[in-house]
Amino acid sequence: MTELIFFINQVVIAGAVLGCIYALGAVGITLVFGILRFAHFAHSELMTSGAFFAFLLASAFAAWGIVTPIPTGFVVLPIAMVISAILALGIDKGFYAPLRKRGARPVTLLIASIGVTLMVQGLIRLFFGAGSYSFFETEAKDVFRIDLSMLGSTRPLVITEPQLLMIIVTAISVIALHLFLTRSRLGKAMRAMADNADLAQVSGINTALVVRVTWIIAGALGCMAGTMLALDVTLKPDLAFNIIIPIFAAAIVGGLGQAYGAIAGGLLIGFAESLAVFNWTMVLRPLNAILPDWLQLPATLALVPTEYKLTVAFVILVVTLLVRPTGIFKGASS
């Protein structure tokens, strides 16, 4: 039992948290790809800047003496999401819309998005330096230790308050997104445009509005993902830039343009990463009593050494691109 709880602590919770962050980021990427047909690299900067907005708001709350029952990062999240959505709209208006109007190829838009990445990252570094920040400097990070001794475990189940909230908030936003895409007129228009942009336009869908809504959703969800990542680890200027490829991997594994695919892909990659670095000896140790002496388990028996954790996502990405380039859910091909 102890081993099972250890497994849950190390793989299930860590994988779920990572998976939620990847999934929320990948939804934005996949929607932008579905509607605007280009790989939006600057999505990582939407995430990082969103996290910094939330951090600034949380600091302001702390300075005004407002104490909240749940971590302030979650309280200020809606405001930060609105700011990020406005930022995303502004970036589109300033950098991508002129290129689209000129009829530039998706490749040009991709390079432009790298320019945007560099500019936003430069600005963040300009204002915040290269150091790292924590949401939990002024408040404590609650850690729940659920005692499971009645089940025969010597270890408690450990989950922090932000992690628990993170999983709940992600579940709520995924359901909200699902309802929006399937029930509302605008959501249906978005799906139609992702399937076939030209057909959507001739059938009277307001494409400009759909593009705006896409950026709003991408910015808001990106902010949510970035803030959660910052709440789970620390906040630094290259926070999301380092994980943009796993997020792209999640979007591609699920099929570019498929919102549900992105969520599935995100969870898949999150769990795959935590499973790959998991030390199986901890769980299989009871076997040592049965196994003969020459076949004892080594001290570490992980599929991949911890320092190669991020490579897992890249390997999954490359394999997916080779075996099934359109992803699990049959995404768009550019």
Radius of gyration of the chain (CA): 21
String marking each residue 246-275 x if it binds another protein according to CB under 8 A = --xx--x-----------------------
Measured from the Cβ of residue 66, the count of other Cβ atoms closer than 10 Å reads 12
**What φ, ψ does residue 159 adopt, rounded to 5°?**
-145, 140
Please identify, using beta-carbon distances, which residue of 120 and 221 lies nearer to another protein.
Answer: 120
Is 98 a binder of another protein (CB under 8 A)? Answer: yes
Minimal distance, residue 41 CB to another protein, in Å? 9
Decide if residue 119 touches another protein (CB under 8 A): yes
Identify any residues that bridge with 159 across adjacent strands, giving them in sequence order. Answer: 144
CB of 236 to another protein, least distance (A): 13
Q: Please, what is the minimum distance in Å from the beta carbon of residue 308 to another protein?
A: 6
Contact between 229 and 243 under an 8 Å Cβ cutoff? The reply is yes
Quick check: 299 binds another protein (CB under 8 A)?
A: no
**Cβ pair 33, 257 in contact under 8 A:** yes
Q: How far apart are CA 237 and CA 220, in angstroms?
A: 19
Using CA atoms, how far apart are residues 222 and 150, in angstroms rounded to an integer? Answer: 41
Q: Is 117 in the site for another protein (CB under 8 A)?
A: yes
Single residue of 108, 132, 206, 234 touching another protein by CB under 8 A: 108
Buried b (16+ CB within 10 A) or exposed e, 30-41: bbbbbbbbbbbb
Site membership for another protein, residue 97 (CB under 8 A): no
Residues 187-246 that bind another protein (CB under 8 A): 245
Least CB distance to another protein at residue 113 (A): 10
Please check whether residue 45 is in contact with residue 116, taking contact to mean a CB–CB distance below 8 angstroms.
yes
Using a 10 angstrom Cβ sphere, with 0-12 exposed, 13-18 middle and 19 or more buried, the burial of residue 217 is buried
In whole angstroms, how close is the CB of 18 to another protein at the nearest point? Answer: 17
Of positions 4, 12, 62, 110, contacts another protein by CB under 8 A: 110
Question: Nearer to another protein by C-beta: 78 or 305?
Answer: 305
Q: Which helix H or strand E contains 145, and what residues bound it?
A: strand 143-146
The CA-atom distances, in angstroms, between 7 and each of 15, 20, 159 are 11, 19, 13
Stretch that binds another protein, among 161-169, 198-206, 219-227, 309-317 (CB under 8 A): 309-317
- Residue 291 binds another protein (CB under 8 A): no
The contact set with another protein (CB under 8 A) reads 33, 38-39, 95, 98-99, 102, 104, 106-108, 110-112, 114-123, 125-126, 129-130, 245, 248-249, 252, 305, 307-308, 310-311, 313-315, 317-318, 321-322, 325, 333-334
